[in-house]
A = this chain, B = another copy of it.
Amino acid sequence: MFRKRINADEARELFLNSFPPIPEIEVLPIEACDGRIIAENIIASIDVPHYRRAAMDGFAVIASETLGAGPGSPVMLRLANTIEKGTCVRVHTGSPMPEGADAVVMMEDTELLDDRVQILAQIHPFKNVGAIGEDVRKGELIQERGHKLRPCDIAVLASLGIRSLKVFRRPLVVIIPTGEELVQRDKKYLKPGEVYETNGLMASMYVKKWGCDVRLLKIVTDSPDLIKEAILSNLDADMVITSGGTSVGKRDYVPAVVDSIGKLLVHGVGISPGKPTALGIIEGKPVVCMPGYPVAGIVALFYFARSAIRKLGNIPDEQDRIVRAELSEKITGRTGYKTFARVKLDNGKAIPLSTSGAGILSSVSKADGFVILPENVEGFNAGEEVDIVLIE
């Protein structure tokens, strides 16, 4: 029997509150840090730039000497290597400003005559000069612990001369496919009643995409002892995902096994498909038990496993890829359940796919995304514009 069915959000909150993030940190070269979560605050130890720089190609000058200069009234300066009264120095974008110069006259406003330069525009002090620290100021907090690093962030850190960073360790997730009907994917032909193992494979790829290391076990048959042994011998991992055996049939042992060696928090969730999802904790490690029906499984993965991975891995929440489109047909939710309806995008319209059939994995593969119907929404009508969460 299921426990009392729990609302999807409540179930998730209960689950997420029952384990802590992984505190361990590792040090990596910055080149390897794209997508990793920084585990330290970074204070800039130098100014960037650390010297006054020309912001244009042209001539560095003492601005006050250009007073009154214009196309009809050029000021003549001598081309030199240092600045003193009456001289200017050739500079390129980014090159250091010569001492004494306080502005750059851009090339277009000058005329070079051998060793002299006609200045054809009057400029103000600091014009076309990049100040010390204009990009990053020494002492500034430049990265905050907990941020997911992007290449542009890493480039800024590299500009400070930083060559390695402390980042949070990736979670290691063990994935345990269960079910006596399953056969390994290297078997050539299927007998009636046999099904290739695909949920574990799918889970392993999503979990990797979400920033984890993965250990995908071989199929465990429907035996409480073997399931228990598979879990207990993999608790060096940070999280366990099982697939299959979560319903209330004779061969559905997984929730009871979780409860026998840990604490079963939830069994039966108001999510559709995905009701037979179970959630628990074993030795402090979160356990997500995906239903064996693949669509239910993927919903459990997206809704529970991904959130758990974010918490474990200190990964900030991320905006989903969402498109808005008009429904071509009505979709209805299951009363009291958060319903994940699959839709295909076609010419800017959202076309609902078979919303029944938790066993029809191809309906996910044919779908571009989910329309998520809250528990209190009966459905959306044809022609209504809805948010579609694209399936990664």
Contacts and interface: CB of A to CB of B under 8 A. Distances in A.
A152 to B, nearest CB: 4
Given A142-B362, A193-B96, A321-B321, A205 B154 contact: yes
B390 A181 contact: no
Interface in A12-62: 30-31, 34-35, 46, 48-51, 53, 55, 57
A96 B201 CA distance: 23
Contact of A155 (B159, B160, B294): B294
A249 interface: yes
A260 interface: no
A240 interface: no
Contact of A161 (B196, B359, B364): B196
Contact of A94 (B31, B195, B318, B357): B195
Given A208-B34, A362-B142, A391-B150, A57 B247 contact: yes
Interface string A132-154: 00111000001100000011111
A362 B154 contact: no
Contacts of A135: 359-362
One complex includes copies of this chain to the number of 2
Contacts of A31: 201, 204-205
A73 interface: no
Contact of A158 (B94, B201, B208, B247): B201
A307 to B, nearest CB: 17
A222 to B, nearest CB: 9
A364 B205 contact: no
B186 A152 contact: no
Nearest to A143: B365
A161 B198 CA distance: 10
Given A163-B186, A319-B323, 6 more contacts: A34-B205, A51-B192, A136-B362, A159-B198, A319-B321, A321-B321
Interface of A: 30-31, 34-35, 46, 48-51, 53, 55, 57, 90, 92-96, 107, 130, 134-136, 142-143, 150-156, 158-161, 163, 179, 181, 185-186, 188-190, 192-193, 195-199, 201-206, 208-209, 247-251, 292-294, 298, 318-323, 357, 359-362, 364-365, 390-392
21 contacts: A34-B205, A34-B209, A57-B250, A92-B250, A93-B247, A93-B293, A94-B181, A95-B193, A96-B192, A130-B359, A135-B359, A135-B361, A142-B362, A151-B201, A151-B205, A151-B206, A151-B209, A155-B199, A155-B202, A155-B361, A156-B362
